[in-house]
Each structure stands twice: as structure tokens, then as C-alpha cells.
């Protein structure tokens, strides 16, 4: 039986058949997408921290795909549990997770999972961290205590992590050593100051985590 796709309607790129009308030949493809011998290493990263610290912003900033967000409008019902003192303009909150992807090299792809910050959603953390190589714990110097639950969690489960202070406009800028002392972070754990709105700053944080995770679990 003759094929319903004519020879003129199909082409091959890197050994992968492309059907006209479904895939554009000039699409900006990565090398690993057209060469089956160069399949990338897919790694899972968790982005955690307190409420309103910038987890969704970080994932959105670096993701090369349209990020999956589970943002819901905040209502009066959450006023008793969500402290908006430091973030009075915040109108939404993550109720499940954020998801994004970034290709750091031809052979390394990071899948980012942002955790919800409020205590009532902590029951989901065990599922979100399963299979992750490490975590970024975001901190806000105006409310450092909010990141203690995440620090305790990753310490208890032995998952490598870095601490990234998301510097907000109008807040006092502290040195990484000061933050390390305030949070009693072990000397081998990287602590850095970053801006979740700036792509290069967020990528530097992810690279620091990947390097730290390799040092902690080289196998």
C-alpha cells in the first residue's frame, strides 16, 4: 500500500524524518535533538524556600520553555496564615509546583521544580524531591527564618543544596559570610547573593548547585 506521505513531503534531519506540515526543518534544534548518539543527561533540580521569596520568578526567568505555573489568587482566607509584611504587592501564590527547563550545555538539561512555600503544602515535598540531584534554597534577608524548614528538610534527607539570597530592592545587602553565620550553614555549602529576575544571576546559581552536587555525589 502506498504511503500517504509523498517523498516530496518528507525530509530527514540528523537521521530523524520530518514530515512537512508538522515540523519545520529550519527550527532551532539542539544538537542532541538531531543526533541520537548525543542524548543529554537530564537532571532534576528543586527550588525551595519560604513564601514569596522568588521561587516562581527564578524558574520563569531561566526556563527556555513556557513554564508550568500553578499560581492561584490569594484570598482573605489566607490572611491569617500568609505573612505579606515583606511582600505587600503579592497577589498570587503557588499551590502545587512550578516547572521549567533549561539546557546548560549540549549534554546537560536541567528540569526545575519549584516547591510551594507555605507550611500547608509541605506534604508534597517528598514527591517533588524524588530523583533530584540537589536543591536551591532561596532566602530573603528580611525574613531569614522562613527558609529554616527547607534547610532542615534537605539536611535530614541528605540532598545537596546551595543557599541563594534573593536580594530585593530596598532591603539591606549582606555578605554571604554574614548569611552563612546567621543560618549556621556548613562551610562546604555554597552561599551566594543573587537576583532571581536576572537570567545570568539565576543561571550562575544553578551552575553552583550542579558543581556542588557533583562534589557531594560524584558517582
Domain that holds residue 187: 40-216
Residues 29 and 48 in one domain: no
For residue 95, give the DSSP letter. S
Same domain (yes/no): 110, 140: yes
Query: What mean pLDDT do residues 139-146 have?
Result: 92
Q: Considering the domain boundaries, does residue 197 fall inside one?
A: yes
Residue 75, pLDDT score: 46
Is 115 found in the same domain as 94?
Answer: yes
- In this model, does residue 67 exceed pLDDT 70? yes
What's the CATH number where 208 sits?
3.40.50.300
Neighbouring residues of 165: CB distance < 8 A, sequence distance ≥ 6: 138, 139, 140, 141, 174, 176, 179, 191, 192, 193, 194
175 burial type by CB count under 10 A (0-12 exposed, 13-18 middle, 19+ buried): exposed
For residue 211, being part of any structural domain is answered with yes
2 falls within a domain: no
- Predicted structure pTM score: 0.72
Separation CA 214–CA 93 (nearest Å): 32
Residues 19 and 114 in one domain: no
Lowest-pLDDT range of 8-17, 31-40, 93-102: 8-17
pLDDT for 206 equals: 97
Check residue 160 and give its pLDDT.
97
Portion of the chain with pLDDT greater than 70, in percent: 66
Residues 153 and 136 in one domain: yes
pLDDT band at 52 (very low <50, low <70, confident <90, very high): confident
Q: Do residues 127 and 165 both lie within one domain?
A: yes
Question: Is residue 57 a part of any domain in this protein?
Answer: yes
- pLDDT tens for 163-211 read 999 988 878 889 999 999 999 999 999 999 999 999 999 999 999 999 9
- Residue 104 makes CB contacts below 8 A (sequence gap 6+) with 110, 203, 206, 207, 210
pLDDT of residue 121: 62
Q: Is the dihedral of CA 175, 208, 211, 200 positive or negative?
A: negative
Residue 81 lies in a domain: yes
Same domain, 70 and 24: no
Please say if the pLDDT value at position 90 is more than 70: no
Mean pLDDT, the chain, rounded, equals 78
Residues 196 and 173 in one domain: yes
- The whole-number pLDDT of residue 151 equals 95
Q: Are residues 96 and 59 in the same domain?
A: yes
Same domain, 116 and 143: yes
Partners of 134 in the β-ladder: 45
In a shared domain, residues 106 and 160: yes
Q: How many distinct structural domains can be found in the chain?
A: 2
Lowest model confidence (mean pLDDT) among 14-28, 76-90, 121-135, 171-185? 14-28
Q: Do 147 and 60 have their domain in common?
A: yes
**pLDDT confidence tier of residue 37, bands split at 50, 70 and 90:** low
Amino acid at each position: 500500500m502506498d504511503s500517504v506521505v509523498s517523498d516530496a513531503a518528507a525530509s530527514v534531519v540528523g537521521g530523524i524524518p520530518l514530515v512537512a506540515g508538522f515540523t519545520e526543518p529550519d527550527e532551532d534544534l539542539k544538537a542532541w535533538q538531531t543526533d541520537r548518539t548525543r542524548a543529554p543527561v537530564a537532571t532534576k533540580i528543586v527550588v525551595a524556600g519560604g513564601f514569596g521569596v522568588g521561587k516562581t520568578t527564578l524558574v520563569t526567568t531561566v526556563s527556555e520553555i513556557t513554564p508550568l505555573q500553578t499560581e492561584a489568587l490569594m484570598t482573605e482566607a489566607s490572611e491569617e496564615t500568609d505573612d505579606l509584611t515583606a511582600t505587600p504587592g503579592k497577589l498570587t501564590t503557588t499551590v502545587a509546583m512550578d516547572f521549567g527547563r533549561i539546557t546548560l550545555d549540549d549534554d546537560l538539561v536541567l528540569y526545575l521544580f519549584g516547591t510551594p512555600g507555605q507550611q500547608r503544602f509541605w506534604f508534597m515535598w517528598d514527591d517533588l524531591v524524588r530523583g533530584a540531584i540537589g536543591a536551591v534554597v532561596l532566602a530573603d534577608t528580611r525574613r531569614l527564618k522562613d527558609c529554616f524548614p527547607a534547610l532542615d528538610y534537605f539536611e535530614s534527607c541528605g540532598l545537596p543544596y546551595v543557599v541563594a539570597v534573593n536580594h530585593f530592592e530596598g532591603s539591606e545587602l549582606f555578605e554571604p559570610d554574614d548569611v552563612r553565620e546567621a543560618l549556621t550553614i556548613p562551610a562546604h555549602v555554597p552561599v551566594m547573593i543573587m537576583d532571581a529576575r536576572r537570567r545570568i544571576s539565576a543561571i550562575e546559581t544553578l551552575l553552583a548547585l550542579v558543581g556542588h552536587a557533583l562534589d557531594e555525589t560524584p558517582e
